[in-house]
Amino acid sequence: MLKAKGLTFRIGEKVLLDGVSFEGTPGKLLAILGPNGAGKSTLIRLLSGALKAHAGSITWKDQVYPGNAKSLLARTRSVLTQKLHLSHPFSVEEVVMMGRYPHFKRYPQGNDKEIVRDWMKRTDTQRFGKRLYQSLSGGEQQRVQMARTLSQITGMEAPCLLLWDEPLNNLDIRYQHDCLGTARSMAQAGHVVMVVMHDLNMAAQYADQILLLKGGKRLSFGRTERVFTAENLAQCFDFPAYVSKHPNLNCLQVSFGNSFSAHPETQPTDDLPTLST
């Protein structure tokens, strides 16, 4: 549905992305992974149209992307960027309502308010809806921005395009799971959802497909079980990797380590220190 072919992007001599091809499919949650400087954020900015590729092409629903239908695109595509900085003191509700701007002319309609209220409830941000955005913690701000990007495409016919650049930043465990759970349910509703992230185990639990990047090149792309092999991950992150079946959940589990990281002299033993009572 969203097809990227041979995407290349340079700044001066430095090649940030080098011939990356992949496809986002409705119904599948795609996680974009890779070490620092792999080109993940550059890729998201190409996919959102903020940057123009030096070579390669992107098509969305078989049309050249981002194309000229900008107002339609604003209603069917939403982007969550990193390091958002709000320049004026808006309330949380006002920030989430900005997601509905492409849908009304001057004043929000009844269904805009309903959609905003609904997403604020689902991201657990309605409790501080009247507070100033700047007074929130980083994780709370992140959830507000998620509610905004989700409100933006709600009510439009699937497939819409949802691009999230590191949405898990600053979130604690529960909200990390809420976040990716929401991303997956958006995918299951028929949307194309792409998420840049760092936590491989979260990706293993939620993503249907993985795009593994390294040094601006595509290392691997495909179903999670195919991409998450010890060889792929070790090569990608330059560190010995282990992949196993998760003991409790129906997914893979990833860990990294070498002999130095495993406390060689503390062998597992039965005589644990006992507490005197």
Nearer to another protein (CB atom), residue 108 or residue 215: 108
From the CB of 90, what's the least distance to another protein, in Å? 5
Nearer to another protein (CB atom), residue 1 or residue 86: 86
From the CB of 237, what's the least distance to another protein, in Å? 29
The verdict on 101 binding another protein (CB under 8 A) reads yes
From the CB of 185, what's the least distance to another protein, in Å? 22
Site string for another protein, 77-96 (x = CB under 8 A): xxx-x--xxxxxxxx--xx-
From the CB of 267, what's the least distance to another protein, in Å? 50
From the CB of 88, what's the least distance to another protein, in Å? 4
From the CB of 193, what's the least distance to another protein, in Å? 16
One of 12, 13, 52, 106 touching another protein (CB under 8 A) = 106
One of 11, 37, 50, 223 touching another protein (CB under 8 A) = 50
The verdict on 71 binding another protein (CB under 8 A) reads yes
The verdict on 141 binding another protein (CB under 8 A) reads no
Cα separation, 153 vs 147, whole angstroms: 11
Q: Which chain residues interact with another protein by CB under 8 A?
A: 48-50, 70-71, 73-75, 77-79, 81, 84-91, 94-95, 98-99, 101-102, 106-107, 152
